[in-house]
Structure 1
């Protein structure tokens, strides 16, 4: 008896799951899940557009809104049934194609600037969508046949066109964006969804449960892939924006403002720090005789050494022109030996020489600002510059008094 009861419970649970996945409300569940995923993307895109005003974020917001409208229409069709089935079906089919076109345009714009020909492709594809929708409307007046056959004849055009758009996007867009594999996987999911729908509608008398499951619930995976694609791209853009705000475009070193901020931060927290201040010798003569390209190459070569030498002990920055600074945060570093090593490497590897000065806080109680500490190292560098160049000088109180 207990075994029979257990079997009955299992069967009822199976029927409940089947009812949930394939029952009369299954489409509503699938549509509602897609609405949730799209709403998450919409919130993200709206916030980005209102804060940054990029065209790509506007395109993304618009495409998500069109997809949301599509699902609202689909839900309305499921609720109202045959009352307005033809009109809702025409609206849903057209909006779906438009949404797909707009979404892929937004993905492209996140990685590329759009040129005139891209706008032409976009508007041409929308125009073709409109023409196919109009063709569907006028099919009954253009052809003879049973109403059901004419309805299917008008409907198949946009459905096949959407399938063709998937192939076009798969061929041309992946090479133009950064997340190629993820984008291709998303298109494959969308292709599976649309193909399942086409087979169920046009090829089978009774819809396949497996294909119906793919048609209803695979969109959740598709929109999750889109969400991750957009999220990672936006993080990339924000990191790039942040990086460009604190680094020098030519050398890749931190800029003057960031170096001052970082030095002040360490001093304010009471950490003993040191500053190396360097200046390339005869840099103006190098620019005048060999051109600015040679000067830029020298700057990049010196910056590379500064970056390598400071990698685990501090931060390297370009302070302006040919002046570069290293903030050393490791108190165990012998600044004399470190500075001499940097100078020697630059002379041996770059074809130019540098004059270097350095200064350091003596204790946690030193009442010195970042500007003062860097100015001290600058004074020491100037002493090296005026006493023969290509040397290292340490800042001392007497050197500071002499500068005054």
Structure 2
């Protein structure tokens, strides 16, 4: 068997179907795992649609093996194709959005409309008195053209509401080309043109591979989001206390020359009492952003608790007195609050807890001796 046989031979269609089924199995496993972990309707819709797509291709596989090609089997395949296409695109929409009643009405309405159009399959033989082959071609033409309407609706209505818009639109473009090649081959060449047949077999592989990559990257996005939420503070987006402490511990255990800056917003309780908690939250975010900006190239920043924020500077060339004073001045000039800041440098024998405590004590000294100042741990 050579390459030409694989592309154009009798087994080409079967090989194409088997490859699509492998991709669908992988998508099914990922979708089921997502649904079991997160219980979102989007993953259930995706799972159901993948099952229907798989049923469509398994039926194709069976018909190819047994050389069955009747008007009824073609009709069933086309109806399954439309239902699975709508559900698959609804699942993609639900990966990124909560589905309200009007969205369900829209997607299920598309399926119902497709089923209505499919009734032409049964009425055409009574309405048209051509040859058997002509009748067979006309029976499902309405459904075939309806697929184009579905493609255009999904192409223009769904991308604004999802991530990976470009990949999704490329996938729909491939599906459009596949449907076009299929119709030209069937209605212009009686399903006998080898190149259009190749496109009809090959483009679905690209289409489902792109959908597989879309689903895979969505899983990566969710995993990244879950990880980020586990190590960061929800309000300030700084690292949380546990993560910050663990990072300090790693550096201390390796005896690396780090420094810890400990800051506390002055009169924060009074600010909350007089201007409200929303203003307090806004100030926390502003101060957090200043700390992130300043330490971006030198280390990490974290929220230690309440209005207390900490910085670990990992670059030994940074002059901590100047660094801390720069942070203090920015807070004073760019926000409506001031901050008391203390810092300490690692010395051999110190634990992570002791190093952070030293910076905390220096901050407390700054607060108790006038506030809005920087104090080095002595």
Structure 1 length-normalised TM: 0.86
Any idea what the Cα deviations from partners look like across 1:375-394, whole Å, max 9, x if unmatched?
33222222211211011223
C-alpha deviation, 1:63, in angstroms: 1.8
C-alpha deviation, 1:354, in angstroms: 0.4
Q: Does 1:61 pair with 2:43?
A: no
The one of 260, 269, 286 equivalent to 2:254 is 269
The question of whether the paired residues in 1 share the 8 Å contact of 2:120 and 2:140 is answered with no
C-alpha deviation, 1:147, in angstroms: 4.1
Q: What is the correspondence of 1:19-30 to structure 2 with a 5 Å cutoff?
A: 19-30=5-16
Question: Could you tell me how far apart the structure 2 residues matched to 1:277 and 1:99 are?
Answer: 57
Question: Could you tell me how far apart the structure 1 residues matched to 2:297 and 2:222 are?
Answer: 27
The one of 6, 13, 19 equivalent to 1:33 is 19
Question: Could you tell me how far apart the structure 1 residues matched to 2:94 and 2:112 are?
Answer: 20
C-alpha deviation, 1:135, in angstroms: 4.4
Q: Does 1:345 pair with 2:345?
A: no
Q: CA RMSD in A?
A: 2.3
Question: Could you tell me how far apart the structure 2 residues matched to 1:181 and 1:369 are?
Answer: 47
- In the superposition, relative to structure 1, how do residues 333 and 167 fare at CA in structure 2: closer, same or farther (>3 Å)? same
Any idea what the Cα deviations from partners look like across 1:102-156, whole Å, max 9, x if unmatched?
1111111122121111111122122223334444246546765544444333312
Q: In the alignment, which residue of structure 1 is the partner of 2:99?
A: 114
Question: Could you tell me how far apart the structure 1 residues matched to 2:4 and 2:288 are?
Answer: 65
Q: In the alignment, which residue of structure 2 is the partner of 1:380?
A: 362
Question: Could you tell me how far apart the structure 2 residues matched to 1:43 and 1:269 are?
Answer: 42
The one of 44, 56, 80 equivalent to 2:30 is 44
The one of 289, 297, 311 equivalent to 1:312 is 297
C-alpha deviation, 1:210, in angstroms: 1.9
Question: Could you tell me how far apart the structure 2 residues matched to 1:186 and 1:217 are?
Answer: 13
SS in 1 for 2:235: coil
Any idea what the Cα deviations from partners look like across 1:166-223, whole Å, max 9, x if unmatched?
0111111122222222211111110010111111212334632221111011111111
SS in 2 for 1:271: coil
Across the two proteins, how many residue pairs are aligned to each other? 378
C-alpha deviation, 1:335, in angstroms: 2.8
Any idea what the Cα deviations from partners look like across 1:325-362, whole Å, max 9, x if unmatched?
11222344333332222212222322321011223331
Q: Which moved more, 1:184-193 or 1:146-155?
A: 146-155
For structure 2, which runs of at least 5 residues remain unmatched after alignment?
A: none
SS in 1 for 2:255: coil
Q: In the alignment, which residue of structure 2 is the partner of 1:8?
A: none
The one of 67, 75, 87 equivalent to 1:81 is 67
Q: In the alignment, which residue of structure 2 is the partner of 1:4?
A: none
Question: Could you tell me how far apart the structure 1 residues matched to 2:200 and 2:250 are?
Answer: 56
SS in 2 for 1:81: coil
Q: In the alignment, which residue of structure 1 is the partner of 2:346?
A: 361
For structure 1, which runs of at least 5 residues remain unmatched after alignment?
A: 1-12, 397-404
Question: Could you tell me how far apart the structure 2 residues matched to 1:308 and 1:20 are?
Answer: 58
The question of whether the paired residues in 1 share the 8 Å contact of 2:46 and 2:92 is answered with yes
Q: In the alignment, which residue of structure 1 is the partner of 2:172?
A: 187
Question: Could you tell me how far apart the structure 2 residues matched to 1:360 and 1:206 are?
Answer: 78
The question of whether the paired residues in 1 share the 8 Å contact of 2:245 and 2:352 is answered with no
SS in 1 for 2:303: strand
The question of whether the paired residues in 1 share the 8 Å contact of 2:191 and 2:197 is answered with no
- In the superposition, relative to structure 1, how do residues 328 and 138 fare at CA in structure 2: closer, same or farther (>3 Å)? same
Q: Does 1:392 pair with 2:374?
A: yes
